[in-house]
Amino acid sequence: MRIAVLTGAGISAESGVPTFRDADGLWEGHRVEDVATPEAYATQPDVVHRFYDERRAALVNVEPNPAHVALARLEDAIGEDLTIVTQNIDDLHERAGSTRVLHMHGELNSALCRFCEARVRWTGPLADLPPCPNCGVPELRPDVVWFGEVPYHLPEIEVVLAKADLFVSVGTSGAVYPAAGFVQVARMYGARTLELNLLTSDVSDLFLESRLGRAGELVPAWVDEVLG
């Protein structure tokens, strides 16, 4: 059985990574949508750099939780039959041991040079405008997909969805497209669909089955079911 798992901020919530739309969802009084745009970067690059620099620095203080670990255990068991498509820019899937992860919204630990377009692994701050290791020009931006930009890996994701027998969504509010539409794409190609989320999402009605609860409990229990 081929399985495609879509993850969102909710899978990392129990690790201590804040979600976008729960609670107040604000950062220093800014709506997240107001710092995660090309326009914000053009007008206030220092604010945008600080926002992502803080998040990148915070990564070292968080650990994968049982939901990430369970998905890594599933990959150990079924290998290439599992692909994770994540909207998250943290590295918790990889640190739990998953290797087949498509980061459709980019990664905190990566920087993108606006001059030479190189993508380089980056774990330090960007606010101090360091030179690009590839071309030397100080034009590095966070390698994340902002509102209005095209997500990464879309053709590959379409293939994963088309081949999936089961599509599972974990910890995402269904507020942001195209990820919110993946359930319909997977269904169109004939997959069964399952949602695991703390609360009812914007797209819960589109799933064959929807289970409510914490990812740290629901995901290990579901993986146990799959592995029988």
Interface with ligand APR (CB under 6 A), residue from 57, 137, 199, 227? 199
* Catalytically active residues, by annotation: 105
State the minimum distance, in angstroms, from the CB of residue 185 to ligand APR: 17
Q: Determine the size of the site formed for ligand APR (CB under 6 A).
A: 24
State the minimum distance, in angstroms, from the CB of residue 42 to ligand APR: 19
The reply on whether position 22 binds ligand APR by CB under 6 A is yes
Interface with ligand APR (CB under 6 A), residue from 171, 207, 222, 223? 171
* Phi, psi (degrees; rounded to nearest 5) at 203: -120, 15
Interface with ligand APR (CB under 6 A), residue from 15, 19, 110, 169? 19
Please check whether residue 37 is in contact with residue 52, taking contact to mean a CB–CB distance below 8 angstroms. Answer: no
Q: Between 175 and 227, whose beta carbon lies closer to ligand APR?
A: 175
Q: Binding segment for ligand APR among 40-48, 108-116, 172-180, 182-190 (CB under 6 A)?
A: 172-180
The reply on whether position 176 binds ligand APR by CB under 6 A is yes
- Amino acid identity of residue 156, one-letter, is E
- Site residues for ligand APR, 93-152, by CB under 6 A, read 105
The reply on whether position 13 binds ligand APR by CB under 6 A is yes
**Tokens matching residue 18:** 């804040």
Which residues contribute to the site for ligand APR (CB under 6 A)? 8-10, 13-14, 19-22, 32, 36, 87, 105, 171-173, 175-176, 197-199, 201, 214-215
